[in-house]
Amino acid sequence: MAIIQSRTEFFIFAIIAADAMELVPVLVALLFITIGVILLGAVTALAITSAVSKRRPSSPVIPPAQPSYPAPAPLPNLANDHAEPAAAVLDDEAWPFYAKRLLTHPEQALYYRLVQALPEYLIFSQVQLSRILGVKQGYDFWYWHNRINRMSADFVVCRKDSSIVAVIELDDRTHLDPVRQVADAKKDKALAAAGLRIIRWPTHAMPDVAAIRATVLAGEHRRVISAENERVVRL
């Protein structure tokens, strides 16, 4: 009975295998047909999409809006409010000017003595205070500048590096006027605030060469001693 049953199972398996072998070509054909249909559908969809996009009008490209800024405020006119227009400057009218001497006779005499007494220094005359004084940061520049811009120093003694040794004023009788004395006091205060030494000599008692050198260099010696003391303290 076992032998008969095993033979029966073998025949059944053989029949099923034969049927399966006959179905393989059919299954392969169905597989290729399915793949072809899928590819054909994809190509058709792509063609339709391309045709629709060509027919649809393209929307114009709108550039992004540029931010609007307020117009800049006009720059302040720093020029002289009383300046004449250019056309008036170029007229044919003769201008009533003549050349003046830079130094008076007493100032010339003192200048030559300064040059003789201090040959290793630079001597400048009639120097505007705005050239030797600056306004510290944090203060209104124009307010303080305008308080000294009309003042000048008779002589400025400088070292070779143009740093200032002393400011020298030669006072004639006009400096006895109360208004002039107020102006001199303002000048002295401005120079002292900057740490500059000011020396005043009257025209009727002008020092000689030796006295000039001794007076000016006395301040230089104090400066050297102070610098040496500061260096010793730092050491």
Is 69's pLDDT higher than 80? no
CB 28 within 8 A of CB 20: no
Q: What is the pLDDT of residues 180-230, one digit of tens each?
A: 999 999 999 999 999 999 999 999 999 999 999 999 999 786 665 454 444
If one compares 141 and 11, the residue with the highest pLDDT of the two is 141
User: Could you tell me the pLDDT band of residue 119, with boundaries at 50, 70 and 90?
Assistant: very high
| Cα–Cα distance for residue pair 33/42, rounded to 1 Å | 14
pTM value? 0.57
Q: How far is CA 203 from CA 43, 84, 111, 166, 174, in A?
A: 112, 40, 12, 18, 11
What three-state secondary structure class fits 109?
A: helix
Burial of 122 (0-12, 13-18, 19+ CB in 10 A): middle
Give per-residue pLDDT as tens, 73-103: 565 555 555 556 665 666 778 899 999 999 9
**Which CATH number is associated with domain 105-234?**
3.40.1350
Q: What is the pLDDT of residues 135-185, one digit of tens each?
A: 999 999 999 999 999 999 999 999 999 999 999 999 999 898 999 999 999
Of 217, 142, 205, 149, nearest to 172 (Cα)? 205
